[in-house]
């Protein structure tokens, strides 16, 4: 081993280092030229074979080469890491002055939104929300509501019966019966929302399961004027200032009973869309939205109230139908499918 051999080792290192373009390649050069079996380490071990006269000069050359290798490796590593960081910055660069990419926001289900709107209106009249079971006893679904076993009104509500003689409630009026049974202090002003079930053929406007909400107001001195005034306020706040009409109806649990129609929004009450009959109102120009009436005296007597002293008003709306009108769906089954267009339709309508 001579001084020229050390210079050759240093030149070989620099050639390898010149070809290394990234930190990983530089690390390979480091291992090859500074490891235990590197030429430089082997040169140190070979000093014994160098003549005593040349040994000091060769040892000095080896030490200088080692220092140069370590210094050049450190400098090359720093440069390579800086370049790698700059390359990453260039690849991942984002112009922060550009508008952000916002993900679509979620929304409440149309039925939930309609229920919240309705409850917001009823709260202004002093109503509170109560709940009841969906699997119900026939007493609360029929008997307590003036619908005995052989009453023809039972044929109007095809019922899903379950084990033990119980049933899936066919209307949310069951909650009213349970509230009256509890004999709360007057005035009683409640609203009940939820699913109801009827064994009906499924078509564009009917399902075996749908949503309703009902209201009940029991107090002294209530009369038909209170009923019409409350319904007019509720309809106006929910549907806007549209023409409405009252018509006689029959319900076993109210007497007298009425239905409330509003002018069809799609045809402005004309019954026509161009030269064709309006599909929404079937050409009638009106859409029935709720049923109501004065609480039947038999219900008051059933739960221990004196009809001569206490009276009440009751009303019910189909929230499924209301949500269908709000979203503009042609089939109410769409409200229960996973079709985001239904949600988008309601969102656009609320903007």
Task: Round to whole Å and give the CA distance between 69 and 111.
Answer: 75
Same domain, 197 and 324: yes
Q: Is residue 102 part of a domain?
A: no
DSSP 277: E
Q: Are residues 79 and 228 in the same domain?
A: no
Q: Which two tokens stand for residue 17?
A: 């280092």
- Let me know whether 152 and 197 are in one domain: yes
Any domain includes 100: no
As a whole number of angstroms, the distance between CA 245 and CA 80 comes to: 83
User: Comparing 207 with 348, which gets the higher pLDDT?
Assistant: 207
Tokens 């409440």 correspond to 108
Average pLDDT, the chain: 83
55 and 156 fall within a common domain: no
Nearest to residue 158, comparing CAs of 214, 208, 213, 206? 208
Do 73 and 159 lie in one domain? The reply is no
- Same domain, yes or no, for 122 and 268? yes
Q: Check whether 155 has a pLDDT greater than 70.
A: no
- Identify the residue whose tokens are 């890491």: 81
User: Among 34-38, 65-69, 206-210, which is the least confidently predicted range?
Assistant: 34-38
22-32: per-residue pLDDT in tens?
888 888 887 88
Q: Of the residues 60, 92, 124, which one is the last residue of a structural domain?
A: 92
Compute and round to an integer the Cα radius of gyration of the chain: 42
Q: What is the per-residue pLDDT across 106-134, written as a single tens digit (0 to 9) for each?
A: 778 888 888 898 899 999 999 999 999 99
Other beta carbons within 10 Å of 299: 24
Residue 172, domain CATH: 3.30.930.10
Q: Which of 64, 92, 120 is the last residue of a domain?
A: 92
pLDDT band at residue 48 under the 50/70/90 scheme? low
pLDDT in tens, 232-263: 998 888 888 888 899 999 988 999 999 998 88
**Residue the block writes with tokens 């319900």:** 251
Do 77 and 159 reside in the same domain of the chain?
no
The confidence band for 351, taking pLDDT boundaries of 50, 70 and 90, is very low
Are both 52 and 124 inside the same structural domain?
no
Specify the number of domains making up the chain: 2
**Residues 69 and 129 reside in one and the same domain:** no
Q: Please give the average per-residue pLDDT across 51-76, as a whole number.
A: 78
Q: Residue 72 belongs to what domain range?
A: 3-92
């Amino acid at each position: 081993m001579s001084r020229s051999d050390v210079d050759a080792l240093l030149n070989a290192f620099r050639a390898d280092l010149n070809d290394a373009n990234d930190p990983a390649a530089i690390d390979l050069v480091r291992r090859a030229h500074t490891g235990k079996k590197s030429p430089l380490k082997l040169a140190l071990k070979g000093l014994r074979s160098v003549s005593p006269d040349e040994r000091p000069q060769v040892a000095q050359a080896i030490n200088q080469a080692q220092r140069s290798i370590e210094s050049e490796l450190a400098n090359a590593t720093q440069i390579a890491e800086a370049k790698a960081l700059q390359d990453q910055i260039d690849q991942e660069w984002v112009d922060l002055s550009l508008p952000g990419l916002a993900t679509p926001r979620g929304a409440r289900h149309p039925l939930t939104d309609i229920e919240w709107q309705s409850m917001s209106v009823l709260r202004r009249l002093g109503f509170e929300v109560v709940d009841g079971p969906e699997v119900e006893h026939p007493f609360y679904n029929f008997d307590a509501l003036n619908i005995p076993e052989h009453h023809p009104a039972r044929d109007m509500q095809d019922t899903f019966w379950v084990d033990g003689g119980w049933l899936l409630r066919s209307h949310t009026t069951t909650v009213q019966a349970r509230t009256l049974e509890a004999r709360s202090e007057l005035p009683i002003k409640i609203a009940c929302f939820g699913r109801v079930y009827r064994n009906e053929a499924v078509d564009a406007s009917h399902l075996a399961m749908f949503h309703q909400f009902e209201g009940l107001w029991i107090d002294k001195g209530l009369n038909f004027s209170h009923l019409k005034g409350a319904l007019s306020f509720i309809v106006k706040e929910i549907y806007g200032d549209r023409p409405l009409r009252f018509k006689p109806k029959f319900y076993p649990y109210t007497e007298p009973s009425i239905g409330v129609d509003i002018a069809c929004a799609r045809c402005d009450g004309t019954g026509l869309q161009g030269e064709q009959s309006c599909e929404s109102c079937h050409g009638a120009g009106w859409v029935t939205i709720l049923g109501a009436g004065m609480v039947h005296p038999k219900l008051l007597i059933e739960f221990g109230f004196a009809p001569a002293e206490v009276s009440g008003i009751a009303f019910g709306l189909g929230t499924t139908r209301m949500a269908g009108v709000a979203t503009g769906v042609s089939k109410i089954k769409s409200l229960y499918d996973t079709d985001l267009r239904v949600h988008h339709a309601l969102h656009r309508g609320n903007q």
